[in-house]
Amino acid sequence: MASLIVTGGRPLSGTIRVSGAKNAALPILAATLLSKEPVALYDCPHLRDVANMLSILNALGVHWAWEEAVLRLDASSANAYVMPQGLSKELRSSIFMLGPLLARFGHAVCTFPGGCEIGHRPIDLHLKGLTMLGVEIREEHGLILCDGCAMRGAEIHLDYPSVGATENIMMAAVQAKGETVIQNAAREPEIEDLQSFLRKLGYGVSGAGSSTIRIVGGRVPSVMEEECVSHRIIPDRIVAGTMLCAAAMAGGEVTLQNAVPAHVASVMAKLREAGCAIQTEGDRIHITAHARPREIKLIETLPYPGFPTDMQAQMFALCTIADGTSMIVENVFENRFKHGAELLRMGASFTQKDRTIVIRGVERLMGTRVAARDLRGGAALTLAGLAADGETVVENAELIDRGYDRLDRMLASLGAQIRREEEKEERNTQ
């Protein structure tokens, strides 16, 4: 396992380009199964989750290759609809492969994805939505077997605006005869990016970004003029928010390029409440933080455009050094405070009751050895190391690699004292 070694106390300065969004790239990679033409994806991030998704596509017969900054895929010879078990357990969000597999082959088989570090991650909304499209679903021996040969459009009201369920239903519905309407759909920017890609493939999808999405299904996509479908992945709003939070905690002045300010509005509002000065211009966001962060009265995680749950851990770390008392309520996932125990070891002070945390800010955290328990928690601990006295070792850096393309290099490019150490192989002592 690798670790990130951070020495705190150094302010950040400089400019950094925001990479393409992991949570837009993953469903769009799944949707390449729906393309008759070769696909060229620009700004697809180099992440472990993306590598896992590409391995899954490879197992299904999709050919792909990185050509410098472009990821080229060709699904014309895809020939399997049974998801590889190990890989789809490793990448639990691959459950949204059911939709494109059903649309392409009329059948799909995948494993029941386990829970993960942040919650038991049910998929009832996915399965209920697909069933309403006429998909027959059997669950046996940990497998989900789907027959979607007679899919028909339906009006589907989601009990909760689930991102993955919205994406799954969108991708299946492009081959369900008639119109499908998804009510109470997730409104995340990544859903809009998926819609934009599906429309480039010639499918009739509209309304993404609002709570009502319409899909006209069952038709062969309109004939494409160009022989290749090109798409640029939207910037990653969570990477952008993480870097803004890093600047707020370490202090200094940082400019983000290739950002979408509107996608991080809720995060910027909370950082301004903490005393940061933030200006935006086009795709640039400039943050200045020269004083200790002030308390943030309340952060409540909610579906977009509410405050993103994927930024909760990072803001938790910021509140541990804020001047005053802050409160965080995690409404989206039931077990997403694992980083708290590690922050306590660094000298943080807070009380937890169920999904609510009350944090009393301390002047300085103390560097020590901590362990990442999940992707965003690992990022939060790395940011805490920037603001701690001495050296912090963040173990299990592979978890951070799932959502950041070398977070250590990103922070080092802004002046942080941070390096990555691969754990030496245990030498055989006999």
CA distance 207 to 213: 4
Stretch that binds ligand EPZ, among 29-37, 38-46, 161-169, 280-288 (CB under 6 A): 161-169
Residue of 54, 56, 76 lying closest to 65 (CA atoms): 54
- Residue 209 as a binder of ligand EPZ (CB under 6 A): the answer is no
Interaction with ligand EPZ in 130-149: which residues (CB under 6 A)? none
Q: What single string gives the DSSP state of each residue in 371-385?
A: E--SHHHHHHHHHHH
User: Which one, 12 or 332, has the nearer CB to ligand EPZ?
Assistant: 332
Environment class of 166 (CB within 10 Å of its CB; exposed 0-12, middle 13-18, buried 19+)? buried
Cα–chain center distance at 161: 16
DSSP helix/strand/coil, 245: helix
Task: Say whether residue 376 binds ligand EPZ (CB under 6 A).
Answer: yes
Closest approach, Cβ 280 to ligand EPZ, in A, equals 23
Asked whether position 310 contacts ligand EPZ by CB under 6 A, the answer is yes
What are the two backbone dihedrals, phi and then psi, of residue 143, each rounded to the nearest 5 degrees? -105, 150
User: Checking phi first, is residue 178 left (phi over 0); if not, alpha (psi -120 to 50) or beta?
Assistant: left
Query: Which strand (E) or helix (H) includes residue 24?
Result: helix 22-31
Report the residue from 165, 169, 370, 372 that binds ligand EPZ according to the rule CB under 6 A. Answer: 165
Burial of 17 (0-12, 13-18, 19+ CB in 10 A): middle
CB nearer to ligand EPZ: pick between 136 and 159: 159
Q: Which is nearer to ligand EPZ, 89 or 369 (CB)?
A: 89
Instruction: Indicate the DSSP class of residue 415.
Output: T
CB 410 to ligand EPZ: min, Å: 16
Q: Is residue 122 part of the contact set for ligand EPZ (CB under 6 A)?
A: yes
Piece of 5-13, 157-165, 280-288, 405-413 that binds ligand EPZ (CB under 6 A):
157-165
- Is 168 among the residues that bind ligand EPZ (CB under 6 A)? no
Residue type present at position 298: L
Q: Which of 38, 61, 119, 415 binds ligand EPZ (CB under 6 A)?
A: 119
- For position 164 contacting ligand EPZ by CB under 6 A, the verdict is yes
Segment interacting with ligand EPZ (CB under 6 A) among 6-14, 122-130, 199-207, 337-345: 122-130
Does position 115 interact with ligand EPZ (CB under 6 A)? The reply is no
Name the minimum Å distance from CB 395 to ligand EPZ.
19
Among 58, 124, 257, 265, binds ligand EPZ (CB under 6 A): 124
Q: Which stretch binds ligand EPZ (CB under 6 A): 54-62, 121-129, 286-294, 365-373?
A: 121-129
CA separation, residue 206 to residues 164, 185, 203, 225, 381 (Å): 17, 12, 10, 21, 40
Catalytic residue at 116? yes
Query: Does the protein bind ligand EPZ through residue 163 (CB under 6 A)?
Result: yes
Site for ligand EPZ in 401-420 (CB under 6 A): 403
Q: Which of 26, 31, 62, 87 binds ligand EPZ (CB under 6 A)?
A: 26
- Contacting residues for 425 by C-beta, under 8 A, at least 6 apart: none
Q: How far apart are CA 303 and CA 423, in angstroms?
A: 38
Ranges of H-type helices in 235-374: 237-250, 265-273, 312-319, 339-345
Q: Name the active-site residue from 44, 110, 116, 276.
A: 116
Q: Residue type for 152, please?
A: R
Catalytic sites, residue numbers: 116
Residues that bind ligand EPZ (CB under 6 A): 22-23, 26, 93, 119, 121-126, 160, 162-165, 186, 309-310, 332-333, 375-376, 403
